[in-house]
Amino acid sequence: FFSHMSPPSMQPVADNRELLYTMADVCPYRSRDHSFLLFVVQNPSQLAHDVQQRIFRTGGLQVAMGAFGETADTVTPASSESHFHHMFAGDVLLLAVCEDTGHQVSHALFNYYLLPNAASADTTVTYLNGVAVLPRWQGQGLFSALLHTILCHRRTLYLACRTQNPRIVAGLQKVGTVYPLVHPSQEVMKIAAELAAQLGHTPSNGYDPDSMVAKKWYPHFIINSTPWPDNSDCGKRMSQLLDQKAGDCLISICIPFDIQP
C-alpha cells in the first residue's frame, strides 16, 4: 500500500481538529499546565491517502522529527518516508492535540497481536509500536495519558512493548505491573516468548525466554526496510537514547492495575 508513495514533505503546522472529529473518538486530558484532546484513529492504514498526507505533513512529521532530534535542515527523504510508513502502519494511531492551538504534539502507535498458543486461545496483546512527544511538551504526562486512553478504548489483559528506553518502561509502570521488572509467572514468560517470536525473536536467533531479552536487535535496527545508519540523525538519536553497542532489547509485558486481582 505504501510502497508506491513518494516521501511526504513538511508543511506549516495546522489545526486538524475539525478533520479528526469526523474520523476518530476523542478523550480530553488536562495536565498541570495545558488541556489536550487525545484522538483515537482506528485502522490508520485505511485512511484516504490525502488524509494521511494532511495529518503527517502538518504535524506528524514535526513530532517524529522532534523525537529523533531531526530538524528541517537535517531530515532526509528516507527518514521522512520511514516516519510516514511507521505512523500509519498500525492498528490504532493516537494523536495528542493541544487544545489551545490545535497542533499535534504527540502520537503513539499500537498493534494487536493474537497469541493462539497462549494459556487462553483468544489471548490478545496490545503492543506499543512507537511513541513520540515533541521536546517542549515532554513532562506533561502525555505518554501516560496515551496509555490510559488505549486501555480505556480496548480492555486488554496485556500491554507490551519491545524497548531499551527506560522512559518507556517507566511510563508502563504508571499504568500497571511490568514484567520482568517484577518476577514473571510462567504464563507471562510464555506470552512474552510468543510475542517475541511474532516480532522475529526466537531462541535460535538470540531471544532469552528467561530474561525476556532479545539480543543484539538495535545494531541492526531497521524500520520499514529503511536502515538508520549510525551517522544519520536518527541513528545518532537512537545512540543517545539506547545502548546500541550492546544492542539488546527487552520484551516488557504490562498487566494493567485495573484488571489485576
Torsional sign, CA 35, 55, 3, 239: negative
How far apart (Å, rounded) are the C-alpha atoms in residues 168 and 141? 12
Among 90, 96, 112, 195, CA closest to 149 = 96
How far apart (Å, rounded) are the C-alpha atoms in residues 125 and 10? 34
pLDDT value of position 40: 97
pLDDT value of position 240: 60
Tell me the β-bridge partners of 249. Answer: 214
Ranges of residues in the chain whose predicted pLDDT is under 50: 1-8, 222-227, 229-231, 261
User: What's this model's pTM, rounded to 2 decimal places?
Assistant: 0.87
pLDDT value of position 238: 60
pLDDT tens-place string over residues 59-88: 999 999 888 778 888 788 878 888 899 899
State which amino acid sits at residue 182: V
